[in-house]
Amino acid sequence: MHIPDGYLSPSTCAVMYTAAGAAWYASLNRVRRNFSARFVPLISVFAAFCFVIMMFNLPLPGGTTGHAVGVTIASIVLGPSGAILAASIALALQALFFGDGGITTLGANCFNIAVTGSLVAYAVYRVIAAGAPLKARRRIVAGAVAGYIAINVSALLTAVEFGIQPALFHNAEGAPLYAPYPLHIAIPAMMLGHLLVAGFAEAAITAALVAFVQSANPSLLLATSGLSTGNDELQGAKSKSLKQLWVTVALLMCLTPFGILAAGTAWGEWSANDLSSAPATSANANLEQTPSGLLRLSTVWTAPMPGYAPRFVKSAAFGYLLSAMFAVGLLMLCSWLAQRIFRQRHSVEISR
């Protein structure tokens, strides 16, 4: 679902940046009102989790790959505002440093995955888990269902954005300028893999992590539980260190080399040079040349470590691991700096 540069027209990108920007603005304002030193590392750890989990590629029908996105568990713990920010940070890191998703299309990717995914996941989870105790099995089921629905809604939005490009943006001869896939190709191609594989992966990961949080630190589920703080169960819930969550991310990070075992590339994420050799569809099979607009926009940004493959590393698996370590380390550093600034400001306010 990481749309590369060139697949969407500039006007489509502008619309999607506007929509995502409105969500970012609202989320930042909400987080600022409820800001605390504890919330900073939570956003960081779930940004790291989203980044790492998206590195595990799964084989999909048709010789392509897909992956879970991790946004559902983020919305369950952080609420939609925190999840939108966490997932958007992960997507921005992927685009800026690794070329996974475009810079011009970052607004669309964030709107599809971070914004829509978070809101849908949160709404479904709250409906199914309404009134359930923090450790209830129903919350695990709610997380699984929310994950499955959220990632498929995100995939559908992505497919629609692909599919409207050839109808709206083409030259005088009718040749597409950007994504060449019409709706009748984009929707089935995108949805098949997510309905059959990636959706269940997101559901399984979310269910497992809800169960883990219920056991390790159920108070993390409090913010979105809808339960009053006066509940006896909540009174006994103690806030624990986030070390367990960071350890979980670190373990997943160490396993990221397994994420490149699946052959192929995610559908619709081919570079301009790879488009002609992508799995054939009735759209790209008839392409005489790469669409001119796609070719032009595809060179807007060159990531320093494209494809999670640092140029100075010969081993693909080790390069993949180093990429994950770089991103997680950067997020940990930002989390530490943000906490330090917050505590200094808090100390100054108290001294006054």
Average pLDDT over residues 268-295: 75
DSSP state of 60: E
Among 40-49, 58-67, 103-112, 237-246, the least confident range: 237-246
User: How far, in Å, CA of 106 to CA of 96, rounded?
Assistant: 10
User: What SS3 string covers 231-274?
Assistant: CHHHHCCCCCCCHHHHHHHHHHHHCHHHHHCCCCCECCCCCCCC
Average pLDDT of the chain is 88
- Residue range 10-351, CATH number: 1.10.1760.20
Determine the average pLDDT of the residues in 273-297. 74
Q: Where are the domains of the chain?
A: 10-351
Percent of the chain at pLDDT > 70 equals 89
* Residue 289: pLDDT over 60: yes
Say yes or no to pLDDT of 133 above 80. yes
> Is the confidence at residue 237, as pLDDT, over 50?
no
> Which pLDDT score, from 0 to 100, does residue 276 have?
65
For the segment 131-139, the average pLDDT, to the nearest whole number, is: 94
pLDDT for 236 beyond 90: no
Distance (Å, whole) CA 123 – CA 95: 28
pLDDT at 73 over 60: yes
Mean per-residue pLDDT, 206-231: 83
Query: Which two structure tokens, joined as six digits, stand for 206?
Result: 């979310």
User: Could you tell me if 47 and 330 are in contact, meaning their C-beta atoms sit under 8 angstroms apart?
Assistant: no
Do 264 and 65 meet the contact criterion of CB atoms below 8 Å apart?
A: yes
- Write down the pTM of the prediction: 0.91
Beta bridge partners of 170: 176
How large a percentage of the chain has pLDDT more than 90?
Answer: 66
What is the model's pLDDT at position 351? 61
Q: Lowest mean pLDDT of 78-82, 126-130, 259-263, 315-319, name the range.
A: 259-263
Closest C-alpha among 193, 242, 192, 186 to residue 213:
242
Q: Which helix (H) or strand (E) holds 66?
A: strand 64-66
Q: What is the pLDDT of residue 230?
A: 41
> Confidence band (pLDDT; 50, 70, 90) for 285?
low
pLDDT band at 244 (very low <50, low <70, confident <90, very high): confident
